[in-house]
Structure 1
Amino acid sequence: MELAILKHNGEDTGRKVTLSDDIFGIKPNDHAIYLDVKQYLANQRQGTHKSKERAEIAGSTKKIKKQKGTGGARAGSIKSPVFRGGGRVFGPRPRDYSFKLNKKLKQLARKSAFSYKAIDNSVFILEDLTFDAPKTKSYIDLMASLSLSGKKTLLLMPDVNKNVVLSSRNVPKTKVMVVEDVNTYELLNADSLVLCEGSVSKLETLLSK
């Protein structure tokens, strides 16, 4: 797959880059994508939820009323789950939701996500980007020049650039990541994928291991 490299003002540089078919041209594996996204979302969960069961409720252990003769159901403890303020039955407890996936499966999922972006013609190649100072307007103008204003956009950079990250932070529906940190969820969550020119070779090296 061959794409034109764009300038920061959206114009064509006259140069082209060839994207690897091993990353952008495979048949997407939906089940691998499902598992990788499921793991990503599970890992975001804190798992600190907790409710008190009847043994943990503070309250009297005195029998509420006599066993028989009241005309109502028998009751032995105010901490019973049937009473307001009583313990909860089988309530949530702290737990770890994370689970393991094989490295090759996660790699296949990312390649599948990249291939879906290529199928949808949602991949743009941009000249290597750097800002002299953090400025939100600079990033907004960049997105406007690429006709991506208001769209969910993921920008992949070869290396960390603090000024670019800070410039994009207050722009809604945009995210800036380095190639090493990209994941299947963020790829699929974005409508458009913008690759800096230097990211292409890094991406091929990363996903060919």
Structure 2
Amino acid sequence: MKVAVLDITGKDTGRKVELSKDVFGIEPNDHAIYLDVKQYLANQRQGTHKSKERAEISGSTRKIKKQKGTGTARAGSIKSGVFRGGGRMFGPRPRDYSFKLNKSLKRLARKSALSIQAKDENVIVIEDFNFETPKTKNFLDVLKSLELDTRKSLFVLSNENANVYLSSRNLKKSKVIKASELYTYGVLNTNKLVITEGSLEEINTNLSK
């Protein structure tokens, strides 16, 4: 699949690049995508949730009524979870939600996500660019030229570019990452995937292993 290369003003440069069939043209594996997205979302969880259990509640420890003869259930502590103000039974405890996935599966998931976006014609290839100084207005001009100012977009650069990254940081609908940071959830959770020429080769190298 060939895609036209645009400049940052949105004009066609007259050149085209080939999107590798091994990366942008495979049959998507839905289960691999599901696992990779699940892992990403799990890693975002802090896991700091906690509720007090009966051992952590302040209160009397005396037996509140005799064991037998009351006609009701036996009760040994006012801190029991069955009483108002007692500790919570089987409440949440701090935990780590992360889990491991094989590298080959994660590569398959990313290629599947890229293939879905390429099939839906949501991949834009632009020339490598830079800003002299970090300025949000400069990045907004690029978005408007590409008609992405009102849509979600993910920019993939070939290497770390502080000026471009800082220029985009205040914009909720746009995100800038390096090719080595490409992730399945980000690729799918965007309307347009904007890839620079330099990063395209790096993506092909990283995902063709």
Q: TM-score, normalised by structure 1?
A: 0.95
Q: What is the identity, as a one-letter code, of the residue corresponding to 2:97?
A: Y
Q: What is the identity, as a one-letter code, of the residue corresponding to 2:86?
A: G
Supply the distance in 2 between the matched residues of 1:133 and 1:29 (Cα, whole angstroms). Answer: 41
Q: How does 1:42-81 map to 2 (within 5 A)?
A: 42-67=42-67, 73-81=73-81
Identity %: 65
**The 10-residue stretch of structure 1 (63-72 or 94-103) with the greater mean CA deviation from structure 2:** 63-72
Query: Which residue of 2 is the match for residue 179 of structure 1?
Result: 179
Query: Which residue of 1 is the match for residue 22 of structure 2?
Result: 22
Q: What is the identity, as a one-letter code, of the residue corresponding to 1:177?
A: I
Q: What is the identity, as a one-letter code, of the residue corresponding to 1:121?
A: E
Query: Which residue of 2 is the match for residue 197 of structure 1?
Result: 197
1:99 Cα shift? Answer: 0.9
The answer to whether the Cα contact below 8 Å between 1:159 and 1:178 also exists between their aligned partners in 2 is: yes
Q: Write the deviation string for residues 149-207 of structure 1: whole angstroms up to 9, x where unpaired.
A: 11110000000111101111112210000000110000000110000110111111111
1:19 Cα shift? Answer: 1.0
1:70 Cα shift? Answer: 5.8
Query: Which residue of 2 is the match for residue 117 of structure 1?
Result: 117
Q: How does 1:103-182 map to 2 (within 5 A)?
A: 103-182=103-182
1:66 Cα shift? Answer: 3.9
1:42 Cα shift? Answer: 0.8
1:87 Cα shift? Answer: 1.0
Supply the distance in 2 between the matched residues of 1:35 and 1:180 (Cα, whole angstroms). Answer: 20
Q: Write the deviation string for residues 84-114 of structure 1: whole angstroms up to 9, x where unpaired.
A: 2211111111111111111111000000000
- Show structure 2 runs of 5+ residues with no match: none
Supply the distance in 2 between the matched residues of 1:14 and 1:77 (Cα, whole angstroms). Answer: 80
**The 10-residue stretch of structure 1 (46-55 or 175-184) with the greater mean CA deviation from structure 2:** 46-55
Q: Write the deviation string for residues 27-47 of structure 1: whole angstroms up to 9, x where unpaired.
A: 111110001000111111111
RMSD: 1.4
Q: Write the deviation string for residues 131-162 of structure 1: whole angstroms up to 9, x where unpaired.
A: 00011111111011011111110000000111
1:76 Cα shift? Answer: 2.1
Supply the distance in 2 between the matched residues of 1:98 and 1:207 (Cα, whole angstroms). Answer: 23
Q: Please state whether the residue corresponding to 1:95 is helix, strand or coil.
A: coil
Q: How does 1:72-111 map to 2 (within 5 A)?
A: 73-111=73-111
The answer to whether the Cα contact below 8 Å between 1:130 and 1:163 also exists between their aligned partners in 2 is: yes
The answer to whether the Cα contact below 8 Å between 1:36 and 1:109 also exists between their aligned partners in 2 is: yes
- Show structure 1 runs of 5+ residues with no match: none
Q: TM-score, normalised by structure 2?
A: 0.95
